[in-house]
A and B are shown apart, each in its own frame.
Chain A
C-alpha cells in the first residue's frame, strides 16, 4: 500500500494526521459550508455586515420557504426532473443497443463507429450550437423539455456507448456463443442473456447521466427561454440577477439546486465512482 499505512508510523505522525484530516476537509469545503451557513442566516445579518460570523438567529426555514414561495424555483426543479429522467432512460436504452452491437459483432466499420462515438463526445458544444438550435426551432421543439431531452439523449449516447461497449466486452463471450449454438436469435441473446447481466453498468450510467444532465447549463440557455422549460441551473442564474445582494436567498437556492445530484451521489456512490473512473485502472 502506498503511502505507508498510518497505523505503521510513529504515534506523533499518526495523531498529526488525524488532526489534519478534518481540518483539511473543512478548508476544502469552505465555500460550500459558507453558502450553507448563509442560507440559514436572516437577511438582517447581511445588512448589518455579519457575513461570516455566527448567525444571529436560525432563519433557515424562513429563507427556504421564501425561495419556494417567492420564486419559480419549484417549477425550475420540476423542469429539471422532466428533462433529466427521460434523458437517462433514453440514453441508456440506446446505448445498451449500440454497446451490444460494438462489443459482440466484428464487422469492418466497428472501430470507425466506435471512434465516432468516442470522438463526438469530446467536441466543444459551441460547434453544435447553431445547427442544433436551428434544428430544434424548425422541428418546433425549441423551448420545450422534449427539445432538450432529444439533444441530451443523442449527446450522452456517445459516452454511454463507450461505457456499455467496454462493459459487455468484459462479459464472458462463451455465454453468447452457447446461446447461438442452441439457435437463439440475436435479439433474444441481447434481451435475455446480456441485458440481465448489465445491471451494474446501467446503474452506474444512470447516476452519471443524471448528474451530467441535471448540471447542464449551456444547453439550458441555448434551447430554453421561459419558465415553462428552463431547468434549475439556468433558472438559478436568472434568479441571481433578481436577488441582488440577497445572498441568503441565493445561497438557499443554490443548495436546493445542488441537492438532487448530491443525494443521488450518496445513494449510489459505488456505482457513480465505478462509472467515473472507467479506464483508470486497466491498460
Chain B
C-alpha cells in the first residue's frame, strides 16, 4: 500500500475549506464510526463490564454488593468449577485431533474422479448444520437401548453402553459429536491448501525419490502451514467455546459431569435456581483469561504476518 501519509499534508493551493483540506485525515474515522460504535457497545465494553461485575454479589435485579475477590475465592472451593476446567482441557486436547483427521480426509479426497466435487461438499455437510441439530442427531445415535452406538457396543462388548448417561464417558460422547463438524472444517481448509501447493516442488521431490510419509512430512505439510495455522485457531477457539452441544445433549449432566466453563457460567448466571450474575461473571472472566492466552498468540501472529506482507 502506498497511501499518502496524513502526517505530511500535501500542499494543495486549490483546496480551500476545512473539509477539503482534512478530508483524508477524517475520512477513515467517519468510515469506521458506525461499525466501531456497535462493536464497542456490544463487544469491547461488555468485556470490562463483566470483569467489573465479577467483583459483586448480584442477582441481576436488586442492589449489587461489592465483595472484592469473594467470587474468585468461592471458585477455588467449587467442585463444579474444577470439573468444568478439567472438561475444558479434555475438549481442547481431543479437539486437536480434528486437525490431523481433517488433513487425512483432505488427502483422501484430493483426487479427480467422477463426482468428487459433490463428494467433497457432502463431506463438508456437518459444518453447515447447526450444532443443535448435530447434538440431536448424536443423542439419537447414542440413545440407550435402541441407539446405533448402544447396539454396536452391545455386539462388541456384550453390554450396551449408554454413553450420555455415564458420568465418566458422557463428555467423550459430546466431544465426538463436536469433532464431526470440526473435522469437516479442517478438511476444507486443507483441501484449499492442497489445491495451492506448488506442483513443481512435489514433482522435484518425487524425482528425488521422496514418497509416502517423507513426502507428506517434509514437502507437503510445510507448504500447508497457513492452513494448519487457521485450523489450529478455529479448533482451539471452537473447543473452548463449546456450549451448544453440552446444553443440547446432556444439559451439563449426568450429575454435572459434562459441564464446561461456558456452560457452568450460563447455569450460574441464569439458572432456575436463581441468578448469580457476579459468580457467573467470575467464571466468564476465568474462561476469558484462558482464551486470551491463545487469542493474543494468534492475533500477534496474524498481525505480524499482515505487516510483513
- Per-residue contact bits, chain B 248-292, to A (CB 8 Å; 1 contact, 0 not): 100000000000011001100110000001001101110110010
Chain A residues contacting B25 (CB-CB under 8 Å) are: 107
- Of the candidates A120, A130, A279, the one whose C-beta lies within 8 Å of that of B269 is A130
- Give B20 Cβ to nearest chain A Cβ, in Å: 9
Q: Does A68 lie at the interface of the complex (its beta carbon under 8 Å from any beta carbon of B)?
A: no
- Per-residue contact bits, chain B 138-165, to A (CB 8 Å; 1 contact, 0 not): 1011000011100100000000000000
Interface residues of A in 1-59 (CB under 8 A from B): 1-3, 5-7, 17-18, 21-22, 24-25, 28-32, 34-35, 38, 49, 51-52
Q: Does B193 lie at the interface of the complex (its beta carbon under 8 Å from any beta carbon of A)?
A: yes
Q: Does B65 lie at the interface of the complex (its beta carbon under 8 Å from any beta carbon of A)?
A: no
Q: Does B62 lie at the interface of the complex (its beta carbon under 8 Å from any beta carbon of A)?
A: no
Q: Other than A95-B35, A128-B42, give 4 A-B pairs with Cβ distance below 8 A.
A: A35-B137, A126-B262, A155-B39, A155-B42
Query: Given known contacts A97-B32, A129-B284, is B133 in contact with A257 (CB within 8 Å)?
Result: yes
A250 to B220, CA, bound (A): 44
Chain A residues contacting B21 (CB-CB under 8 Å) are: none
* Complex A-B: 30 CB contacts under 8 Å: A2-B197, A3-B107, A3-B111, A25-B119, A32-B126, A98-B32, A100-B31, A115-B303, A119-B299, A120-B39, A120-B44, A122-B294, A124-B287, A124-B291, A125-B243, A127-B46, A127-B288, A130-B50, A154-B42, A161-B35, A177-B2, A187-B27, A215-B130, A234-B132, A258-B129, A265-B121, A266-B121, A277-B193, A277-B230, A283-B229
A25 close to B122 (CB less than 8 A): yes
Q: Which one of B73-81, B92-100, B166-174, B184-192 is at the A interface? A: B184-192
Query: Given known contacts A25-B123, A94-B35, A106-B3, is B49 in contact with A131 (CB within 8 Å)?
Result: yes
Q: Does B214 lie at the interface of the complex (its beta carbon under 8 Å from any beta carbon of A)?
A: no
Query: Given known contacts A106-B6, A151-B42, is B303 in contact with A281 (CB within 8 Å)?
Result: no
Chain A residues contacting B147 (CB-CB under 8 Å) are: 51
Q: Does B16 lie at the interface of the complex (its beta carbon under 8 Å from any beta carbon of A)?
A: no
Q: Does B194 lie at the interface of the complex (its beta carbon under 8 Å from any beta carbon of A)?
A: yes
Chain B residues contacting A258 (CB-CB under 8 Å) are: 128-130, 133
- Give A200 Cβ to nearest chain B Cβ, in Å: 15
Query: Given known contacts A126-B262, A233-B130, is B140 in contact with A111 (CB within 8 Å)?
Result: no
A132 close to B146 (CB less than 8 A): no
Query: Given known contacts A154-B39, A276-B185, A283-B225, is B53 in contact with A130 (CB within 8 Å)?
Result: yes
Chain A residues contacting B2 (CB-CB under 8 Å) are: 173, 177
Chain B residues contacting A104 (CB-CB under 8 Å) are: 3, 28
Interface residues on B, range: 35 or more
A130 close to B45 (CB less than 8 A): no
A107 to B262, CA, bound (A): 37
A35 to B219, CA, bound (A): 41
Interface residues on A, range: 35 or more
Chain B residues contacting A21 (CB-CB under 8 Å) are: 113, 116, 119
Interface residues of B in 99-132 (CB under 8 A from A): 107-108, 110-113, 116, 119, 121-126, 128-132
B contact patch SS: helix
A214 to B132, CA, bound (A): 11
- Give A133 Cβ to nearest chain B Cβ, in Å: 8
Interface residues of B in 25-82 (CB under 8 A from A): 25, 27-29, 31-32, 34-36, 38-39, 41-47, 49-51, 53, 60
- Of the candidates B1, B112, B231, B277, the one whose C-beta lies within 8 Å of that of A5 is B112
A123 close to B43 (CB less than 8 A): yes
Q: Does A113 lie at the interface of the complex (its beta carbon under 8 Å from any beta carbon of B)?
A: yes
- Per-residue contact bits, chain A 206-226, to B (CB 8 Å; 1 contact, 0 not): 000001001101100110000
Chain A residues contacting B29 (CB-CB under 8 Å) are: 101
- Give B284 Cβ to nearest chain A Cβ, in Å: 4
- Give B64 Cβ to nearest chain A Cβ, in Å: 11
Q: Does A175 lie at the interface of the complex (its beta carbon under 8 Å from any beta carbon of B)?
A: no
A175 to B272, CA, bound (A): 59
A2 close to B107 (CB less than 8 A): yes
- Give B186 Cβ to nearest chain A Cβ, in Å: 10
- Of the candidates B27, B46, B133, B227, the one whose C-beta lies within 8 Å of that of A186 is B27
- Give A68 Cβ to nearest chain B Cβ, in Å: 17
